[in-house]
Structure 1
């Protein structure tokens, strides 16, 4: 019985090849309509409320409902430009800053200049009016004062300027990655095909898939609010999978034409083989990305929706418009040729290198498999000690002026460090009792040494029902003691001190939000891993009608993920290669990175895994012995796998060169793991495992081609070709 996925791919290709202009115009229409949607419908971006989670989210909601949300603030730090600080000059500058900033429209209050303990730094703080989010006039006022005091170093950082600086850097980084990835991908495709049209088709299909996805994402964002970086993720993932899918299809069509088949027959065989692989691998990517929904987090929901859409659209284009283009172009797809690259491509395409590499694996599969397992285990071991933490000041690039200023403010004025917010909701009549309980809490918290005395009294809402007490902590923001202090506050201090009947208490603040996000991540990560692995396992069973193949695929995916986690821990937690990658180790891995790398890696590595296994299955179905089928399957696909992996590795390696630490972590984890996955795992461990399994690899059934079904060349033809 024919596989349903194969049937879908063949029918789509046959219709597209028979009606090429309809397929091409239909695809153009889809892209145009999608792009028009993005101009007609504005995206619904996620709000601060969408990011609330756990107890800190509850506290934040209460604060906003009570109208007690702190307005945005900006701080101006005054230090010596060089040598000792002239305190009189600093006092004069501080007074000028208070007047200049206080006169800015939208500034609600400016504090008196505050000295640090050793009087080497002065701080002026400004609170903005509610709903005011423009720091430009304040920057201009500070610039005017700075010009009059050349002997002082006057710097500004705060809620608005810091966020703007980070957003600008993230945007610059991602734009740089997008701009570099396109020419690199084009060069790799030229190396893969040696002809301009053949090289351009995968890039064109991937680019139009990305454009269509960005357009469709606009109305979809009203169901799943868009995270600011989702567009860049769509571009990078869409380019990787879109190019790979077209590469698989185009390589097989050219291969069949080289055997003397007509263009129509070559397209149909490519649809039956590579088209099937594209549907399976696309389904695997979608299944993996769907696991992100289990996090019930706005960021992961947005990334999941964008990734799923771009993969689905890339799959659709690969099985419809690509066959139509190939049918119309015929042998013109190999024109114009780049002479040197064309000859090099023909030589590499014969698989001589891969035959030499796989020979020892086939001779001693047990040794090869054990050696592969040993390498994977050695690289994965550091992951056992992985520590995760939310991003903070220590993970931001130090060359961002506002980041360095904020670090200096926290160092000189420790009260600006992590703060726990204790939010109490009670009846207005209990206001005095709440105040007494919070006084007791503040004293008990200070006695533990994990908190400082509050810098001011508790703040009460106008209706008297909501009270906020802020407890500063004497720790660095990334210190593990911060999390321990918050747990102590929530589990013991608050229940013991604020035991008022009818009162509700929640501990919030930035540090508590980080802790809650980290806790949710660690709680749900095993669930996501199980979901992704089970779903991809079922996909492989459905695609290949083989339980052993599904088991081997799942285990190899786990191996690749373990390597990625191990390398990220080694590099970013322990600081191996800091100078090479130009970063300072924070001593942990940013909490959301492992989960994102997991789903992306499982999904994308299935691309070439499915392609290799599909080719081996074809050869087994054609009657080749298991060992010979593995040898021919690996060597026949080696060139395609190398090109596909090169695209993915190059795209994600670009991330390792960016300044934002999250991007570096993602780039190192994905590029290194995909490189190892495409070499050690797929060229050594997979063929060794399949040779050891032999005919049992395809249990419980082995599909045989139906009479007249154009699957692969006959055994004598393959032996002769070999």
Structure 2
């Protein structure tokens, strides 16, 4: 880090020009050679994936994407006036680009409700849903008739993509709040701009890399939103920590060159550790065997890696142009509030530890009922056509009408008619369609309508019961795919936790030279993340304040959200932990008592940790302005975890527990210390050594 920082400072113009060239080149390559987004929920070798593959192979025309035109009238649909209105709308749908054919409720009686007042038409597309131009969908939505006692709504994947697009004002809002927080923290426009500029360069290159990687690892359409949110939060935070340490080094009389070296060798090392933890954890998603997650994990990892690279190379170069203009103004003689607070905690460490730990456990308790699922039309904002179409159909045909399960029967292994009869007797089945045999006679497909919707736990249980009916059947369909993905997530999330925690503990022992601090940091991070999961469950599943927080309905936690939350949060928590404990250790090694070291370290870092947390919370909460439910869940969960970590954990639990442990904070077995020293010739480069060099 010392050599890299020194090189970047001395060759600052070259480094800046290289970053500009890299950014322009990567954006150009991404625009020309970027891969397509993933359109399917990959569930590995699960039954739903096998069923889908067979259905596409033997029913290629029926496997095409569709649009659904839902209709509800205050009279029967065969009323002449209603029929005229319906057919007029159907003709407009037939004339739209990429609509191959339309089947109306007048052609298929199964698409007409029992009372005759609700029905739906199915439009088959000649391209995948993501290939339908947004202008086509917007035109169809605009042309939907209103009034005259007839209600029309259009649904489908293509409609959802237009009505609930990613992005929006979130990024701009997050940047604006970050700029305000940085200005208040530094009191300098120049100091405010450096972290933002650094983060934006890293994000631009990272997102370009994501698009290029989609050729090999297709990611869903919301992956760039997640990568931007995570990259913006951690990128500004990393640069903030380095700039803060640089300003402090200038204030001690160091030259700008030496200040850059000290900042990179101390705060920069914290950045590498925290960012490296996030990158490795996100890349670990590649090992889970979930196609849906590979592109998300790898794309987010690349973005975090590039923001980390920008913070440790581009930022030192930019600091070289600022000279001494960023030096900290003369400090006030008044004792900082953080130091006074640390003193209060130190006088009552047992009470502070018990109360803070109990608060975290209470917040985490709802996580015991955590249930995974996937969003669908029922979780869309209620003012969308997609939600209206879903509601019309479920009101007219039953809650499970939009959650059809497709039972694939392998022939000649089983009798389709017998399977259909047995399936109809399973509890939770509302209706069963006659078996449809493929043209080549290889398989038969039976459409099963549940009595419950896809978000209901009873539908998950039904999928499992259907799979036990006959060994020659496969249960698929969108609802079954969501069940499989949720189950795979639940089974493999512990693996992610084990890998991330284990790796982090090993690295923490090396950087802190203490087994106690490493174990304590891991435990506290798990508590803060557990609290975030608990709050998510309370809001989403239990419905606490869900409307005030812009969640349209109660629902399970989106299955991929915890998979992304955990590695990101563990890395962010480690970022703050390393930054805080490193400063405490410096004071302790310099000859201070544990209490004095905690007070000094907290007073030096509280301001920057608070500012960094405020920026991250603002960036993460800004996605709440968007429409994608899963992205909003992730942003809300990350914001809650950062808030808990920066308040309960850093301001109460850390100083209280360190006061209780005393000299045990710095315990490390002699053999382990010798092993660490043997890994590096000479003495280990300690933070206190760097700060006094």
TM-score, normalised to structure 1, is 0.86
Matched, 1:287 2:280: yes
Find the aligned partners of 2:174 and 2:311 in 1 and give their Cα distance: 21
Find the aligned partners of 2:137 and 2:5 in 1 and give their Cα distance: 61
2:452 to 472, 475, 493: 475
- The answer (yes or no) to whether the contact 2:420–2:435 under 8 Å persists in 1 is no
Q: Shift in Å at residue 391 of structure 1?
A: 1.8
Find the aligned partners of 1:325 and 1:103 in 2 and give their Cα distance: 57
* Structure 1 residues 247 and 101: CA distance shift in structure 2, 3 A: closer
Find the aligned partners of 2:325 and 2:614 in 1 and give their Cα distance: 26
1:198 to 191, 201, 216: 191
Q: Aligned runs of 1:43-442 on 2, under 5 Å?
A: 43-48=35-40, 50=42, 53-68=45-60, 69-80=62-73, 87-97=79-89, 101=93, 106-113=99-106, 115-129=112-126, 134=132, 146=145, 150-159=147-156, 163-172=157-166, 174-333=167-326, 352-414=336-398, 416-426=401-411, 430=412, 434=414, 437-442=415-420
Q: Shift in Å at residue 273 of structure 1?
A: 1.4
Find the aligned partners of 2:518 and 2:128 in 1 and give their Cα distance: 55
Determine the structure 1 residue equivalent to 2:667.
699
- The answer (yes or no) to whether the contact 1:97–1:142 under 8 Å persists in 2 is no
Structure of larger gyration radius: 1
Q: Shift in Å at residue 129 of structure 1?
A: 4.9
Find the aligned partners of 1:705 and 1:466 in 2 and give their Cα distance: 66
Determine the structure 1 residue equivalent to 2:515.
547
**The residue matched to 1:171 in structure 2 has which SS?**
coil
Q: Shift in Å at residue 198 of structure 1?
A: 0.8
Find the aligned partners of 2:658 and 2:142 in 1 and give their Cα distance: 69
- The answer (yes or no) to whether the contact 1:288–1:532 under 8 Å persists in 2 is yes
Q: Shift in Å at residue 645 of structure 1?
A: 0.7
Aligned residues: 673
Find the aligned partners of 1:139 and 1:267 in 2 and give their Cα distance: 53
When structure 1 is superposed on structure 2, of 692-701 and 265-274 the one drifting more is: 692-701
- The answer (yes or no) to whether the contact 1:34–1:216 under 8 Å persists in 2 is yes
**1:441-481 CA-partner distances (Å, limit 9, x unpaired):** 222222234224433x3222222112212222222332222
**The residue matched to 1:470 in structure 2 has which SS?**
strand
Find the aligned partners of 1:333 and 1:108 in 2 and give their Cα distance: 66
Determine the structure 1 residue equivalent to 2:691.
712
- The answer (yes or no) to whether the contact 2:101–2:125 under 8 Å persists in 1 is yes
**1:520-550 CA-partner distances (Å, limit 9, x unpaired):** 1111111111111111111212222221111
2:10 to 18, 23, 37: 18
TM-score, normalised to structure 2, is 0.89
Long gaps (5+) in structure 2: 678-682
Determine the structure 2 residue equivalent to 1:720.
none
1:682 to 642, 650, 653: 650
Query: Aligned Cα RMSD in Å?
Result: 3.0
Find the aligned partners of 1:213 and 1:402 in 2 and give their Cα distance: 33
**The residue matched to 1:225 in structure 2 has which SS?**
coil
Q: Shift in Å at residue 641 of structure 1?
A: 0.6
Q: Shift in Å at residue 649 of structure 1?
A: 0.9
Find the aligned partners of 1:592 and 1:126 in 2 and give their Cα distance: 30
Determine the structure 1 residue equivalent to 2:421.
443
**The residue matched to 1:332 in structure 2 has which SS?**
coil
Q: Shift in Å at residue 52 of structure 1?
A: 5.5
Find the aligned partners of 1:145 and 1:629 in 2 and give their Cα distance: 68
**1:189-214 CA-partner distances (Å, limit 9, x unpaired):** 11111111111000000000011112
Find the aligned partners of 1:252 and 1:134 in 2 and give their Cα distance: 51
